[in-house]
Amino acid sequence: MTAPRIKIDLHKIRDNTRCLVERLKPLGITVTGVTKGVCGHPGVARAMLDGGAIGLADARLANVRRMRKAGLTCPILMIRTPMLSQAGQIVETCEASCNTETSVIAKLAAAALRRGISHEIILMVEMGDGREGIMPEDLTNAALHVTRTPGVLLKGIGANFGCLADAAPTSQAMAVLSSLADETEGACGPFVETVSGGSSANLSWALDGGPADRINNLRIGEAILLGTDPVSGHPISGLHTDAFTLLAEVIETKIKSKPVPLKLSDPALSALSLVPGNHWTTRSILALGLQDTDPAGLTFPAAVIFVGATSDHIVVETTNCPLRIGSEMSMKMSYSALARAMEAPDVSKVLHRNRPLTEGAAGSRNGRITELF
């Protein structure tokens, strides 16, 4: 088996999606599966849809194209404000997009008119996260601009929490967003169909029974993929936290002395100059590095201590359990580690599923298919 590789359990991704869909349904909240953390991997995207997601969302055009090329025809939302230079391509591949700039909306509208269609717009509101968003006092004017522009339709409004500011939303924030939906309808006339309250960071509020009011959609990626709350980092009850496993091969194991810095007059030289110390330890090297993942986001097995990483190597120390050359080490990943590993061309992706995605799929008899990109 090729290493390094990511083992992807599609059954657990379906389960996580289904669990969240069922728990949010009584609140009137639907789930849009966010695929940017897996670079729009079609197998993972299908698992989200099989689990009950009403559609998909991504932040990169290349990821959307990958899913469309694989035959996915479901609605896809572009969740990063489209680039002006990509407006035509966004309209071609995505039914809707999140927007904050009237100039971008105008470009999307022109592209939609050329294709003889209408492109749906979700206006993102700044609710304290500090990333993208129209200021609440400017929302009505932005919404009026959309409703008066041929080629685009006002689909709804949305907000982000726990992205830049790293703070989870409160019931008060959700109430404000709901009232903004009411105000927008009052000023513009058309019904605001979608009020997208946020992402996986909203689950603590929602699953604790927070009043949903007008909030009827969440864009969920990390919780489905990793089963964790992105704000606290804690596992979410009822979800699998091991749908993705990163495996790397051991390429060196030696007993080495721990280096001790020389005491030189120049601090910079002291940091770079090493001499053998008196303490010995077993060190191993994995064929994996900064080009492949985020080492700081890896969880290593018990008795394995992370020492450091370079572009192509991860160095670990072990106690009483030397690692055999050619053996493999399994690691869990944070969201940043997963996203980088899924993007890395030298990390293969192996899908494990409880049923084929399509009838007669190659390799489906043994439940495993390897996909590289």
Confidence of residue 265 (pLDDT cuts 50, 70, 90): low
pLDDT at 167 over 90: no
Cα pseudo-dihedral 305, 310, 313, 317, rounded to 10? -20
Check residue 106 and give its pLDDT.
98
Check residue 215 and give its pLDDT.
96
Confidence of residue 322 (pLDDT cuts 50, 70, 90): confident
Q: Is the peptide bond before 356 cis (omega within 30 degrees of 0)?
A: no
**SS3 (DSSP) at 9:** strand
- Contact present, 224 and 57 (Cβ < 8 Å): no
Check residue 279 and give its pLDDT.
64
Check residue 364 and give its pLDDT.
35
User: If you average pLDDT over every residue of the chain, what do you get?
Assistant: 90
Task: Give me the mean pLDDT over the 262-279 stretch.
Answer: 51
- Contact present, 316 and 284 (Cβ < 8 Å): yes
Q: Domain residue spans in the chain?
A: 10-226, 244-371
Task: Give me the mean pLDDT over the 332-349 stretch.
Answer: 97
pLDDT at 173 over 50: yes
Short-list 198, 195, 121, CA closest to 159: 198
Check residue 373 and give its pLDDT.
45
- The pair phi, psi for residue 291, each rounded to 5°, is -75, -15
Q: Alpha-carbon torsion 292, 297, 303, 308, what sign? A: positive
pLDDT tens string 66-75? 999 999 999 9
Check residue 27 and give its pLDDT.
95
Check residue 359 and give its pLDDT.
34
Check residue 365 and give its pLDDT.
34
Other beta carbons within 10 Å of 325: 12
Helix (H) / strand (E) containing 177: helix 171-188
Kindly indicate whether the domain formed by 244-371 is annotated with CATH number 2.60.40. Answer: no
Q: Alpha-carbon torsion 349, 350, 354, 356, what sign? A: positive
pLDDT tens string 47-60? 999 999 999 999 99
pLDDT at 78 over 80: yes
- Contact present, 4 and 348 (Cβ < 8 Å): yes
Q: Can 10-226 and 244-371 be said to share one CATH topology?
A: no
**Range among 146-160, 188-202, 347-361 with highest mean pLDDT value:** 146-160
Separation in Å, CA 105 to CA 88, 180, 197: 11, 20, 21
DSSP bridge pairs for 316 = 284, 306
Question: Which alpha helices (DSSP H) does 51-170 contain, by range?
Answer: 61-69, 87-93, 102-115, 139-147
Confidence of residue 263 (pLDDT cuts 50, 70, 90): low
pLDDT at 357 over 50: no
Confidence of residue 266 (pLDDT cuts 50, 70, 90): low
Quote the DSSP letter at residue 234.
P
Check residue 166 and give its pLDDT.
74
pLDDT at 104 over 70: yes
Check residue 169 and give its pLDDT.
87
Check residue 319 and give its pLDDT.
80
Would you call 281 exposed, middle or buried from its count of C-beta atoms within 10 A (0-12, 13-18, 19+)? Answer: middle
Whole-number Å distance between alpha carbons of 201 and 31: 13
- Contact present, 120 and 95 (Cβ < 8 Å): yes
Kindly indicate whether the domain formed by 10-226 is annotated with CATH number 1.10.1740.10. Answer: no
pLDDT tens string 280-315? 789 999 999 999 999 999 999 999 999 999 999 999
- What's the distance, Cα to Cα, between the start and end of the chain in Å? 17
Angle at Cα 29 formed by Cα 92 and Cα 212, nearest 5°? Answer: 125
pLDDT tens string 203-242? 999 998 888 899 999 999 999 999 999 989 999 999 999 9
DSSP bridge pairs for 247 = 5, 330
